[in-house]
Amino acid sequence: MSARRRQSKTYSDTSLLSSSYRVLVATTIHPIFTQVLREHGWQVNTLDSVNEQALIQAGKSGQYDILVVGTRTPVTERVVHAWQGKIFARPGSGIDHLPFAALRRWKVRIVRTPEGNAPAVVEYTLLLMLALLRWFPRHLAAGVVRPWRRPLDAMGELLAGKRVGIAGVGHIGWRLASVLTQMGASVLCWDPFVSVRQVRQLAGAQKVSTLQELIACSDILTLHLPLTATTREIINHETLRYARHPLYIINTARGSLIRIPDLLVALDEGIVQAAALDVLPCEPEFRDAPWWDSLRRHPRVILTPHMAGHTVESREWVARLLAQKLLRVMRWRRGEGF
């Protein structure tokens, strides 16, 4: 055993976790996050006014080891520079709003919780899927505006027997595939980072080799991909033309995975039967986009305000999980001399 490894063994869990690290919170997070860390002797403060200059000043002060950021925290290259060598903690999964080149250059590590809200997103995706198939908005309107008049032209379809294409088989896509197979749907998966062998572990699921094949073989397409340079606007005129019959589309991942003007054209041309979008490009400034009015008024589009991952339970679980991950990361740094 090396001297370095022998040295790491001399630390007990208690001594490692009792070191007082300093955390600055620059986003909304459940109080359990602060509670867990303070129980281990950590100092946790909240930034009152979250703006670029305040983040830069806090980083340059050298008072903090960790910055907790959210999707609306203005993390610019200047902010990353001010926090060089430190840790950014992200409650949730999406990090596409962060400047990756600057993070690598200034050696800022990201700790996040992509698995924390997966059950909530799976349930919400299923909710939107069923709402599209059963024309639930029409039924709701018929029950309120014209009480108890059945809209027989919106009778709906069963999920059982449908071919559901899942683009992205991470924490969320994997769970969703399992639920869908139990509900009688045929599940197709496309993910360039997941092997055929892994997909076969899901009874009844089948992996396809391209997104085009996934679209061509699916009745329903649900998106669970991260937003990267290669996945941005991956659903567009070119890919949608592979649909062999009207397609239902659900997006609870990232708004910019879909090129909205092309989606609207596909809806009008009958290539897409209906769409349910919990996310939109450029949130929340999308109201200035030229396509916004057409999208929100479209009779076959359901829009929800980025709520898929938000439940009472998931909010607390994400916060607790993030705190536990930070405790482990800092324990490892201290014990291994990282």
User: Above 50 in pLDDT, residue 48?
Assistant: yes
Position 333 scores a pLDDT of 76
For the record, the structure tokens of 33 come out as: 């996050």
Mean pLDDT of 105-120: 94
Distance in angstroms (rounded) separating the CA atoms of residues 6 and 269: 68
Q: Which of 55-64, 196-205, 235-244, 319-328 shows the lowest per-residue confidence on average (mean pLDDT)?
A: 196-205
Position 194 scores a pLDDT of 76
Position 13 scores a pLDDT of 39
* Higher-confidence position of 203 and 279: 279
* Higher-confidence position of 178 and 334: 178
Do 111 and 322 touch, CB atoms closer than 8 A? yes
Instruction: Give pairs for 285-289: CB < 8 Å, separation 24+.
Output: 286/255, 289/260
User: Above 60 in pLDDT, residue 3?
Assistant: no
Mean pLDDT of 34-52: 96
* Higher-confidence position of 60 and 284: 60
94: left (phi over 0), alpha (psi -120 to 50) or beta: beta
Q: Which of 331, 329, 287, 336 is nearest to 88 (CA)?
A: 329
Q: Which of 81-95, 135-149, 179-193 shows the lowest per-residue confidence on average (mean pLDDT)?
A: 135-149
Mean pLDDT of 141-169: 83
280: left (phi over 0), alpha (psi -120 to 50) or beta: beta
Position 222 scores a pLDDT of 98
Mean pLDDT of 196-207: 72
User: Above 50 in pLDDT, residue 14?
Assistant: no
User: Above 50 in pLDDT, residue 266?
Assistant: yes
User: Above 90 in pLDDT, residue 5?
Assistant: no
Catalytic residue ranges: 254, 306
Q: Domains in the chain and their CATH numbers?
A: 3-116+314-336 (3.40.50.720), 118-303 (3.40.50.720)
pTM for the whole structure = 0.86
User: Above 70 in pLDDT, residue 271?
Assistant: yes
Above pLDDT 70, what percent of the chain? Answer: 89
Mean pLDDT of 202-224: 92
Mean pLDDT of 274-300: 92
The residue with tokens 């080149």 is: 101
Distance in angstroms (rounded) separating the CA atoms of residues 181 and 186: 6
User: Above 70 in pLDDT, residue 148?
Assistant: no
Mean pLDDT of 102-127: 95
Mean pLDDT of 102-126: 95
Rounded to the nearest integer, the mean pLDDT of the chain is 89
Position 193 scores a pLDDT of 78
Position 94 scores a pLDDT of 84
Position 1 scores a pLDDT of 41
